[in-house]
Structure 1
Amino acid sequence: MVSDFRKKKLLHVFTAFFDTNGSGTIDKKDFELAISRISQMRGWKAGDAKYKEVENALNQVWEGLSKADTDNDGQVSKDEWIALWDNYSSNPADWQNVYCKFIFQLEDASNDGSIDSEEFSSVYASFGLNKAEAVAAFQKMSSGKASVSWAEFQGLFKEYFSAEDMNAPGNFIFGKTSF
């Protein structure tokens, strides 16, 4: 059973980053919209190499995520989403690793192999989160360090989806300081 705390974290990611059209479920249209928004944010156009990278990564994520659609209605509901991530800590799927890498690369705008506070908070502000709160979340996530490496990010990502400890640094990886 998933605790209320973990449900709140999972639903934050569901609502803020996956249900891009606000329908209350996740479907292929949400991914098409996300590809468009992310590419526009970075100035990439259809046909650009970076656009294709985003498209390929998010199509892999959708392909894996769509397997959580247990009632086969073409959409992933909040309950299906929660069940999917509840299984993650003991049995991560390839698409979840693709998503982790995608998020890291999206945030690493300078492409230097690490994420700093400005890179982190700018991405979350572009998704409609409060930039000041994202800066504070970065400080908690990084434990006060100036940057987070790919190796550190992977651990923080897994911690976000599995930690019950409200103070675990991974809880802040998606730009929010409280749940």
Structure 2
Amino acid sequence: MGALLDQKHEKLFSLLDTNGDGVIAENDFELMAGRVLTAADEESTEKGEKYADEMRNYWQALRDTADADGDGRISRDEFRQALRQVSGTFDTLVGPLYQAGFHLADRDDDGLVGREDFVAVLAAIGVPAPEAGVAFDRLTGQSGQLTKDQLMTAASQYYCNEDPADTASHLLFGAL
């Protein structure tokens, strides 16, 4: 893996380690889901339930893939090893969570997410709001609206792509 991909994976680990204890565990996913649902004001809705379900599914898949020692916690090293496998399974392992997150932020169900909703969701997962705003602006360009395809492409490139030359995906979760 190259240096940029390592930086992106380190950033992702730090966001998923929601409580900051140096490992990723189920309670990190529960905490993050709660923050996102509160920020989106979707705690008791069908969209909220779908997002919470996908957070649980992502945790289970990540644990099954990464928890090499079976202790129910994922270390930085275990996380790095697991992400090397993600490129082939992104659509089934990670994609559903991003799709659910998109639908959560698409408050009026028009297939577009505005800047305010995007920033609110990313801030809830730990990305500083100004950095989330920059990511949104770079991802959407002149349109000012994010599509699901744009988000899915950016997320896939964030996990799997080393070269940021023609994409803003490396900013998806804030500055590296």
TM-score (norm: length of structure 1): 0.84
* Cα pair distance change 1:118/1:44, threshold 3 Å: closer
Separation in 2 of the partners of 1:70 and 1:49?
34
Query: In structure 2, which of residues 60, 65, 70 is the aligned counterpart of residue 63 of structure 1?
Result: 60
Q: Give the equivalent residue in structure 2 for 1:173.
A: 172
4+ aligned runs moved over 6 Å, structure 1 = none
Structure 1 distance, partners of 2:150, 2:140, is: 9
User: Contact 2:23 / 2:75 at 8 angstroms: preserved in 1?
Assistant: yes
The aligned counterpart of 2:135 is 137
RCO higher in structure (CA 8 A, sep ≥6): 2
- Contact 1:141–1:171, Cα closer than 8 Å, also in 2: no
Aligned identity (percent) is: 25
Aligned position for 1:101: 99
Task: Flag structure 1 segments of 5+ consecutive residues without an equivalent.
Answer: none
Amino acid at match of 2:55: L
Q: Residue 93 of structure 1: CA displacement?
A: 5.8
Count of aligned pairs: 174
Answer with 7-16 or 34-43: which moved more: 34-43
* CA positional deviation for 1:11: 1.6
Specify every segment of 5 or more residues in structure 2 that has no aligned partner in the other structure, as ranges: none
Q: CA deviation at 1:120?
A: 1.4
CA distance in 2, matches of 1:33, 1:100: 17
Give the root-mean-square deviation of aligned CA atoms.
2.1
* Counterpart in the other structure of 1:79: 77
> Aligned partners of 1:152, 1:26: CA distance in 2, in Å?
27
Which has the larger share of helix? 2
**Structure 1 residues 1-179: aligned runs within 5 Å:** 2-16=1-15, 18-45=16-43, 48-67=45-64, 68-92=66-90, 94-167=92-165, 168-174=167-173, 176=174, 178-179=175-176
CA positional deviation for 1:27: 0.9
Aligned residues of 1:121 and 1:135 also touching (Cα < 8 A): yes
Kept in 1: contact 2:29–2:56 (CA 8 A): yes
Find the aligned partners of 2:52 and 2:120 in 1 and give their Cα distance: 21
Moved more, 37-46 or 154-163: 37-46
Task: Give 1:50 shift.
Answer: 4.0
AA aligned opposite 2:170: N
1:122 Cα deviation after fit: 2.0
Q: How much does 1:126 deviate?
A: 3.0
